[in-house]
Amino acid sequence: MATKKFLELKEFNDEELANELKETEKQYLKLTFDHSVKGIDNPMLVRDMRRDIARLNTEIRRREINNMSEEELAKRSKIRQRRRK
């Protein structure tokens, strides 16, 4: 997965997102290992891979929040307000 944009990730279902995250993390670990051992031609790939992982985690979390009940959302809001103080 080179770079999947936010709109492309919306089309995935939850299972596909989890699988994509797992595969991307595996690729990232391999890439960082290769980079530290022998170096890679384009070190910007490491940054792009990290950003892809962040995009996937963000989409998964966004879906979790959308599926929360009203009570869970209210509790979450209270926790967030306490953190701001």
Residue 41, domain extent:
6-84
Q: Give the whole-angstrom CA distance, residue 54 versus residue 35.
A: 20
| pTM as predicted | 0.81
What per-residue confidence (pLDDT) applies to 29? 96
Number of domains in the chain: 1
Model confidence at 2: pLDDT above 50: no
pLDDT digits (tens, 9 = 90+) for 30-73: 999 999 999 888 889 999 999 999 999 999 999 999 998 888 88
Better-scored residue on pLDDT, 58 or 77: 58
Considering the domain boundaries, does residue 1 fall inside one? Answer: no
Q: At 13, is the secondary structure helix, strand, or coil?
A: coil
Considering the domain boundaries, does residue 11 fall inside one? Answer: yes
CATH number of the domain to which 35 belongs: 1.10.287
Task: Specify the long-range contacts of residues 45-54, CB closer than 8 Å, at least 24 apart.
Answer: 48/2, 48/3, 49/24, 51/3, 52/1, 52/2, 52/3, 52/4, 52/24, 53/21, 53/24, 53/25, 53/28
Considering the domain boundaries, does residue 64 fall inside one? Answer: yes
The residue count of the chain comes to 85
